[in-house]
């Protein structure tokens, strides 16, 4: 009788402890461009929370700076060696990373691009992202309507990301042009436009210091510049600092993309005129869910109907709404912000 009771107790104990052991067998990797940008910090928070909820073992990696593809390739190699079931990736070099991604997929890992589509996009199993073209269009339309008749004689500068022109950079850049009424020419390339309103492009590496230097460079090209599109809000803040240093902060309309809490605060304070808010926590948490589902059933995520990727949403945030462009104010933007 004692033996039976002990056997039953051992069996019960085995059942009690088997769930977490089995869950730990599902492992995932998050590889971001940096671990300092608030966007990627929030992405990591979302992935970590969802992984804990679902019992997934998560390892996180990041490049030293935006554009550090070598560290991302090394991270993919580590994930393959560790036997991960899937990788969530925000690629710095959307073309250069593709061979490493192929190696991971050939090894049986599910690879999901977050925020930044690969080139080609189907190099990943799926993409969970903001509609970055729409994000650009929204701030372009807002800037055009805000300027009114002056838009036709605007002097526009672009503070882009990196020389490699990752897809997220191209999409936001080209979207802004379309929204503002500028012909982007080749939709897959930055810098081939011939609109006389464009002062020039410079790169920022997505940070404040880069934004400040890029703004200074564009001011040297044309001190009459009056519209600035920035790849993200840290770059926008850097641009504002450069403008303020020469007393031009009230003469230039700055628009951006991100929607982090510091960025929404910058909109409220008038540093940024409008920003397109995206939702990195949602991207990452959905990505972890997709890896867990793939590990359990082999099923891969499907794109949003009518799109080539899973759309995680975008909202224009401004306290100066214009006709024909749907937006939310900074109060609502603060309720939805991150970072």
Name which of 319, 300, 302 is nearest 311 in CA terms.
Answer: 302
SS3 string of 56-123? CEEEEEECCCCCCHHHHHHHHHHHHHCCCCEEEECCCCCCCCHHHHHHHHHCCCEEEEECCCCCCHHH
Instruction: Compute how many other C-beta atoms are within 10 angstroms of the C-beta atom of residue 303.
Output: 14
Confidence label for 25 from pLDDT (cuts 50, 70 and 90): confident
Question: How far, in Å, are 20, 48, 130, 167, 312 from residue 305 at the CA level?
Answer: 35, 28, 15, 21, 12
> Would the pLDDT of 37 be above 80?
yes
Average pLDDT, the chain: 92
Residue 218 near residue 199 (C-beta atoms within 8 A): yes
Q: What is the mean pLDDT of residues 176-193?
A: 97
Mean pLDDT value of segment 322-334 = 98
pLDDT band at 67 (very low <50, low <70, confident <90, very high): confident
Evaluate if residue 314 carries a pLDDT over 50. yes
Average of pLDDT values for 252-256?
A: 98
For 235-262, b/e burial (b = at least 16 CB within 10 A) is: bbbbbbbbbeeeebbeebbbbbbbbbbe
> Alpha-carbon distance 288 to 339, whole Å?
20
What pLDDT is stored for residue 79 in this prediction?
A: 98
Mean pLDDT of 174-193: 97
Question: pTM here?
Answer: 0.81
Query: What integer pLDDT is reported at residue 7 of this predicted model?
Result: 35
Mean pLDDT, rounded, for 101-105: 98
pLDDT at 70: 96
Structure-token pair, residue 266: 């910058």
């Amino acid at each position: 009788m004692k033996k039976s009771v002990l056997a039953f107790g051992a069996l019960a104990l085995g059942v009690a402890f088997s769930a977490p052991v089995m869950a730990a067998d599902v492992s995932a990797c998050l590889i971001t461009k940096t671990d300092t940008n608030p966007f990627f910090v929030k992405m990591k928070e979302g992935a970590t929370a969802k992984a804990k909820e679902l019992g997934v073992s998560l390892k996180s990696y990041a490049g030293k700076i935006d554009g550090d593809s070598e560290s991302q390739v090394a991270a993919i190699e580590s994930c393959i060696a560790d036997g991960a079931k899937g990788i969530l990736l925000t690629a710095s070099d959307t073309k250069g990373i593709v061979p490493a991604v192929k190696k991971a997929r050939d090894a049986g890992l599910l690879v999901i691009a977050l925020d930044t589509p690969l080139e080609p996009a189907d190099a990943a199993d799926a993409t969970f992202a903001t509609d970055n073209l729409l994000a650009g269009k929204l701030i372009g339309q807002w800037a055009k309507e805000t300027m009114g008749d002056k838009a036709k004689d605007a002097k526009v500068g672009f503070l882009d990301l990196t020389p490699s022109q990752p897809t997220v950079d191209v999409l936001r850049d080209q979207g802004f042009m379309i929204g503002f009424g500028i012909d982007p020419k080749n939709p897959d390339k930055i810098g081939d436009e011939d609109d006389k309103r464009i002062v020039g492009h410079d790169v920022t590496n997505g940070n404040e210091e880069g934004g400040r230097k890029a703004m200074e460079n564009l001011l040297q090209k044309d001190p009459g510049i009056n519209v600035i599109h920035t790849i993200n809000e840290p770059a926008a803040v850097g641009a504002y600092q450069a403008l303020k240093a020469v007393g031009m902060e009230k003469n230039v309309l700055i628009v951006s993309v991100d929607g982090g809490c510091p960025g929404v605060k910058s909109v409220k304070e008038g540093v940024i005129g409008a920003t397109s808010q995206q939702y990195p926590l949602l991207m990452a948490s959905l990505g972890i869910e997709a890896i867990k589902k793939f590990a359990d059933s082999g099923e891969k995520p499907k794109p949003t109907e009518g799109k080539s990727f899973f759309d995680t949403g975008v909202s224009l945030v401004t306290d100066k709404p214009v006709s024909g462009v749907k937006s939310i104010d900074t109060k609502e933007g603060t309720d939805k912000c991150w970072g």
